[in-house]
Chain A
Amino acid sequence: MSGRARSAGPSRVARIAAPVGVALALLALWHGAVLWFEWPPYLVPSPLRVAEVLGQNAAMLGLALANTMQVALLALAAAVLLGTAIAFVFVQSRSVETALFPYAVLLQVTPVVSIAPLVIIWVKDPTASLVICATVVALFPIVANTTLGLRSVDPGLLALFRLQRASRWQLLWRLRVPSALPYFLAGLRISAGLALIGAVVAEFVAGTGGTASGLAYRILMAGYQLDVPLMFAALFLVALAGVALFAATSLLSRWLLGGWHESETRLD
Chain B
Amino acid sequence: MTLLGPSGCGKTTLLRLAAGLLPASAGQVQTDGRGLGFVFQEPTLMPWARVLDNVRLPLDLNGTPRAEGDARARAALTRVGLAGFERHRPRELSGGMKMRVSIARGLVTEPALLLMDEPFGALDEIVRWRLDDELLTLWKERQLTVLFVTHSIHEAVFLSQRVLVMAPGPGRVVAERRIDEPYPRAAAFRVSTRFAEAAAALHADLMAASGVPA
Q: Residues of A at under 8 Å CB distance from B?
A: 1-3, 154, 156-157, 159-166, 170, 174-175, 178, 181, 259-261, 265
Contact = CB atoms under 8 A, between A and B. Distances in A.
Which of A2, A174, A265 has the most chain B CB within a 10 Å cutoff?
A: A174
Contact of A163 (B20, B42, B48, B89): B20
A2 B92 contact: yes
A163 B39 CA distance: 11
A174 B91 CA distance: 19
A181 B47 CA distance: 12
6 contacts: A1-B92, A3-B92, A170-B61, A175-B46, A259-B48, A261-B47
A162 B57 CA distance: 12
Contact of B89 (A157, A170, A259): A259
B44 A164 contact: no
A163 B46 contact: no
Contacts of B92: 1-3
B61 A161 contact: yes
Contacts of A156: 40-42, 44
B19 A163 contact: yes
A186 B154 CA distance: 47
A1 B44 CA distance: 20
B62 interface: yes
Interface residues on B, range: 20 to 34
Nearest to B19: A163
A260 B91 contact: yes
A260 B21 contact: no
Contacts of B49: 178
A2 B91 CA distance: 10
Given A162-B21, A174-B61, 7 more contacts: A156-B44, A164-B61, A166-B61, A170-B61, A175-B46, A260-B89, A265-B91
Interface string B57-94: 11011100000000000000000000000000111100
Contacts of B89: 3, 259-260
B47 A159 contact: no
Interface in B29-48: 36, 38, 40-42, 44, 46-48
A260 B47 contact: yes
Nearest to A157: B44
Which of A1, A159, A162 has the most chain B CB within a 10 Å cutoff?
A: A159
Contacts of B40: 156, 159-160
B44 A154 contact: yes
A178 B61 contact: no
A150 to B, nearest CB: 15
Contacts of B91: 3, 260, 265
Interface in B74-116: 89-92
Q: What 10 A-B pairs come out closest when comparing CB atoms?
A: A156-B44, A164-B61, A260-B47, A178-B48, A260-B48, A166-B61, A164-B58, A156-B40, A260-B89, A3-B92
A159 B46 contact: no
Contacts of A164: 57-58, 61-62
A68 to B, nearest CB: 35
A261 B61 contact: no
A159 B21 contact: yes
Contacts of B42: 156
A163 B44 CA distance: 13
Contacts of A161: 61
Contact of A165 (B46, B47, B61): B61
